[in-house]
């Protein structure tokens, strides 16, 4: 794959700027540059060889956009586009230069539209920063408004970003082409010249030229369509509200749509390719209910007249929150009641909830800069669970929130983690923070804060925050101030006014999370905190201190008690002596707990004799914490035997979160061994697997658990599972694939069926011809071949192959051989690149493989990814695996021998 052509600017626009103008730019105290003269030692050279009049990655604040009038003409035959943009500007300081963004496009015209008349602008470009400098031969005066007009042309991107091309096959085999946008975080600049930073909010009036066989949609409704010469049509869209460039969106396609109206009159439409429009009903119904919920919850009306949801055939991420036109992977939006699973329904509902939450958190109120991305993504992730719990109670979404915290902790326990609010500068660094820390940790610390200040006070605080900063940009401090103000006037569990910022700064401004050590001595509970790390470098834990909202229950009382731990050590006193104490109730807090002395033995005894005394979330958190403590080098009192003894209770466990966490902790340990003998885990869960019916019945949580257990049993060759799956696959294949399989068991059936050449070929053909996206997603893990599978699905396939003991080396070799193609298609720093890097390598556990991984990644340049955080994470994870193997492998192998 190749990127679009390098940005080219007409030679006639690259004449040397007047010397006086350059002197003004570099000497003026106007604010066109920071005042520190040291920062001007480096003069950047533009692509024409002349000095570029700005030398920072961030744009100057001398001017800001007020309004864009944008006209775009994509050609879906030649796969390029042309456009004209008129930008109305407010001048804040006298200046003779306008610096803005443009990436990989040809500037064909540049004019200044001033009250005195139209004048040409000279154009310089600096491609490493994606910047254009527009130089005027007259001074732009502070306080006045001007317009610039820029003509441009570019190729539709063949990546998943900017204004890019997508395609799909009809059932008859015909290829249909469309063009769609994905501008977050720094890709609007690849579609039109703009001030592509979130703080430069403006209004947009958009026009799109298209052929009559296509439709065009954008953020706002169409106000009119004008016929043009040559049989073309031009759609004019209404002017947007004030918003950031990354939220602009438009699509030119042959999609069809279905529509409904919310209680307050907002038109909701779902767009999809024509042959899949019958899979849109669930998304439409879900979006209507969720938008109604958010308007009530935030007590702020949705400000646009419509909300479109579009299923894009080629889409890198899960979805994107463009204001008024949210875009999705097809698997994240399309649902077939007869073929889709409860997991599909849950996932689709959550992703719609996420994107619609963004219409307030992110779109209405936007972070000032990408360092506070978590204000967008952490809140949207958190609101998934708040909203779906109310609108779709049958999905039992609360059963799955805890998994988000565990996923965040996995990344956050590495030395290479980053603070929730973290410094970022260039596009790669910005892309990298779209990760589990910004999303999942952000959601988990918000959940912890909500539990601490009470849900009522929390809701009032965020409503005040949204109202106060509507159509503006914020930093984390603004949210904490709103919540502190509320706590001063609202009852928050009987406490005095809380300094929310003082508490939450400890969670957002430093990386990692605390391990709280608890030691019970009679009525006295001794507490201490330290940073938890999977490392043998104690110096990396120094200097960390959190304000931790502790919660606990005891054998004497199920009443949840609270204690704010602000210091390294402290003591609390119980009303009476107890048999056991459990901290972090329901794991509402983002911290781990170690029970010193006899604490773990008391909990193990409780779980073995009466595990239902604790909630399923409490049990899942205990499983998580005890196994993670074994992975922490030098943690006294927590041995592998302790963890395995605790896990024995899982043979009686039935709740989804606790069971799946048992698998999440046990399976990787056994995968680290060459033997990879999973018989211990199969035996542990044998009773629960045997109780599963091969049908679609029960609650969503029960069905998700059934699918998980039967798949595990089939993969691990548990005879009853393999026999039943084989029987069902043979019957399904004999019917030509027309027999209706229970949705919950299809993964197990397909996995077993693909083991024979005939079965694999049959599955491949069914995948190639299927239009049900949920069915394709369950088949795709079996194969990768040519153009049949969308490239967007490659990361999932690659990581799945790497998890097979026979495929891990194949996946690694593929990643190395195709590295340069992959980073061009998926872009440096994106979550999918990190997913492939970490997913392919995270089970390696030998120094030989670590050396091989370091040799490859060490050979990269900065331009090809050498500075990506995921590479450092890979080194740390493999190093942790090696240490674990050295410490525990002989003992685990002996334990297996003793069981035989």
Which residue ranges are tagged as binding site for Zn(2+)?
354, 358, 377
Sort strands 557-565 and 548-554 into parallel, antiparallel or unpaired: antiparallel
Nearest CA to 324 among 362, 256, 272, 268? 268
Residue tagged 């998980």 (tokens)? 708
Give the count of beta carbons closer than 10 Å to the beta carbon of residue 277: 17
What is the number of H-type helices and E-type strands within the chain? 27, 29
CA distance 244 to 375: 15
Write phi, then psi, for 846 (nearest 5 degrees): -130, 150
Q: Which of 330, 355, 459, 653 is catalytic?
A: 355
Joined together, the tokens standing for residue 424 give 């970022």
**Cα distance from N-terminal residue to C-terminal residue, the chain:** 52
655: phi > 0 → left, psi -120 to 50 → alpha, else beta; which?
A: beta
The 10 Å Cβ neighbour count of residue 809 is 15
Q: Choose among 118, 165, 178: nearest CA to 146.
A: 118
Closest by CA to 825, choosing from 72, 128, 159, is 159
β-bridge partners, 583: 552
Do the beta carbons of residue 754 and residue 782 sit within 8 Å?
yes
Closest-CA residue to 28 (of 106, 177, 139, 149): 139
Query: φ and ψ at 3, to 5 degrees?
Result: -75, 165
Cα–Cα distances (Å) from 437 to 407, 415, 627, in that order, read 9, 13, 21
Q: How far apart are CA 352 and CA 357, in angstroms?
A: 8
Q: What is the DSSP string of 476-502?
A: HHHHHHHHHHHHTTS--TT-----HHH
Q: In what order do the strands lie in the sheet with 557-565?
A: 557-565, 548-554, 581-583
Q: Is 524 a catalytic residue?
A: no
Q: How far is CA 678 from the centre of its chain?
A: 32
CB 251 within 8 A of CB 178: yes
Give the span between the Cα atoms of 293 and 307, in whole angstroms: 14
Residues 411, 436 contacting (CB under 8 angstroms): yes
Tokens of 334: 């399309």
Q: Are 33 and 26 in contact (CB under 8 A)?
A: yes
* Region label for 53, one of left (φ > 0), alpha (ψ between -120 and 50) or beta (otherwise): alpha
**Residue 284, token pair as written in the block:** 């439409």
CA 611/CA 615 separation, integer angstroms: 8
Catalytically annotated residues: 355
């Amino acid at each position: 794959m190749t990127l679009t052509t390098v940005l080219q600017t007409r030679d006639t626009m690259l004449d040397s700027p007047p010397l006086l103008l350059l002197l003004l730019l570099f000497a003026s105290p106007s604010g066109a540059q920071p005042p520190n003269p040291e920062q001007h030692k480096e003069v950047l050279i533009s692509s024409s060889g002349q000095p570029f009049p700005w030398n920072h990655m961030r744009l100057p604040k001398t001017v800001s956009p007020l309004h864009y009038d944008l006209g775009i003409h994509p050609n879906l035959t030649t796969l390029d586009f042309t456009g004209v943009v008129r930008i109305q500007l407010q001048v804040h300081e006298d200046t003779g230069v306008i610096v803005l963004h443009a990436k990989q496009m040809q500037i064909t015209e540049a004019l200044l539209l001033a009250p005195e008349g139209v004048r040409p602008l000279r154009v310089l470009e600096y491609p490493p920063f994606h910047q254009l400098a527009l130089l005027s031969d007259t001074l732009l005066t502070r306080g006045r408004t001007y317009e610039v007009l820029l003509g441009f042309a570019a190729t539709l991107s063949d990546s998943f970003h900017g204004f890019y091309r997508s395609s799909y096959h009809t059932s008859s085999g015909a290829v249909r082409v469309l063009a769609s946008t994905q501008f977050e975080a720094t890709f609007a600049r690849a579609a039109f010249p703009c001030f592509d930073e979130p703080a430069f909010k403006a209004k947009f009036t958009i026009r799109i030229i298209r052929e009559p066989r296509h439709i065009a949609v954008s953020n706002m409704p169409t106000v009119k369509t004008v016929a043009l010469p040559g049989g073309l049509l031009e759609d004019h869209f209404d002017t947007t509200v004030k918003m950031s460039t990354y939220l602009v969106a438009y699509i030119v396609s042959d999609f069809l749509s279905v529509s409904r109206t919310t209680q307050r009159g907002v038109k909701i439409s779902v767009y999809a390719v024509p042959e899949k429009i019958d899979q849109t009903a669930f998304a439409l119904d879900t979006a209507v209910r969720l938008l109604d919920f958010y308007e009530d919850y935030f007590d702020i009306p949705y400000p646009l007249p419509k909300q479109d949801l579009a299923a894009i055939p080629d889409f890198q991420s899960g979805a994107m929150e463009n204001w008024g036109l949210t875009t999705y992977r097809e698997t994240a939006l399309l649902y077939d009641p007869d073929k889709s699973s409860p997991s599909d329904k849950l996932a689709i509902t959550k992703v719609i909830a996420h994107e619609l939450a963004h219409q307030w958190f992110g779109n209405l109120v936007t972070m000032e800069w990408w360092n506070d991305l978590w204000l967008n993504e952490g809140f949207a992730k958190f609101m998934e669970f708040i909203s779906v719990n109310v609108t779709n109670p049958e999905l039992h979404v609360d059963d799955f929130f805890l998994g988000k915290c565990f996923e965040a902790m996995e990344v956050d326990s590495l030395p290479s983690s980053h603070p929730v609010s973290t410094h970022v500068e260039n596009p790669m660094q910005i892309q990298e923070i779209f990760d589990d820390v910004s999303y999942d940790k952000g959601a988990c610390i918000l959940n912890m804060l909500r539990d601490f200040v009470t849900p009522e006070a929390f809701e009032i605080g965020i409503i005040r925050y949204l109202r106060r900063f509507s159509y503006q940009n914020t930093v984390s401090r603004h949210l904490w101030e709103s919540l502190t103000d509320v706590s001063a006037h609202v009852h928050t569990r009987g406490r005095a006014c809380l300094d929310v910022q003082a508490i939450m700064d400890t969670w957002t401004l430093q990386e990692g999370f605390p391990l709280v050590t608890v030691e019970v001595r009679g009525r006295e509970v001794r507490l201490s905190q330290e940073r938890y790390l999977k490392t043998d470098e104690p110096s990396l834990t120094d200097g960390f201190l959190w304000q931790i909202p502790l919660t606990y229950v005891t054998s004497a009382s199920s009443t949840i008690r609270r204690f704010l731990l602000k210091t390294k050590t402290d003591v609390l006193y119980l009303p009476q002596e107890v048999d056991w104490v459990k901290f972090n109730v329901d794991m509402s807090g983002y911290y781990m707990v170690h029970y010193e002395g006899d604490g773990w033995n008391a909990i193990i005894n409780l779980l073995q004799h009466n595990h239902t005394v604790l909630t399923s979330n409490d049990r899942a958190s205990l499983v998580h914490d005890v196994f993670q403590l074994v992975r922490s080098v030098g943690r006294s009192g927590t041995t592998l035997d302790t963890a395995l003894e605790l896990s024995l209770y899982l043979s009686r466990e039935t709740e989804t979160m606790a069971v799946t966490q048992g698998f999440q902790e046990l399976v990787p340990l056994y995968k680290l061994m060459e033997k990879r003998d999973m018989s211990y885990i199969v035996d542990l869960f044998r009773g629960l697997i045997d109780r599963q019916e091969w049908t679609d019945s029960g609650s969503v949580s029960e069905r998700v658990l059934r699918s998980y257990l039967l798949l595990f049993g089939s993969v691990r060759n548990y005879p009853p599972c393999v026999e039943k799956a084989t029987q069902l696959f043979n019957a399904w294949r004999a019917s030509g694939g027309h027999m209706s399989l229970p949705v919950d068991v299809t993964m197990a059936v397909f996995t077993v069926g693909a083991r024979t050449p005939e079965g694999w070929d049959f599955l491949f053909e069914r995948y190639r011809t299927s239009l049900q996206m949920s069915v394709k997603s369950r088949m795709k893990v079996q194969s990768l071949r040519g153009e049949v599978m969308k490239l967007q699905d490659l990361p999932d396939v690659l990581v799945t192959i790497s998890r097979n003991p026979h495929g891990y080396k194949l996946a690694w070799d593929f990643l190395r051989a195709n590295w340069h193609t992959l980073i061009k298609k998926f872009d440096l720093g994106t979550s999918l690149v990190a997913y492939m890097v970490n997913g392919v390598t995270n089970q390696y556990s030998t120094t030989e493989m670590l050396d091989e991984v370091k040799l490859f990644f060490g050979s990269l340049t900065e331009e090809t990814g050498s500075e990506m955080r995921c590479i450092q994470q890979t080194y740390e994870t493999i190093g942790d695996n090696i240490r674990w193997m050295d410490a525990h492998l002989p003992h685990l192998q002996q334990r297996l021998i003793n069981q035989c």
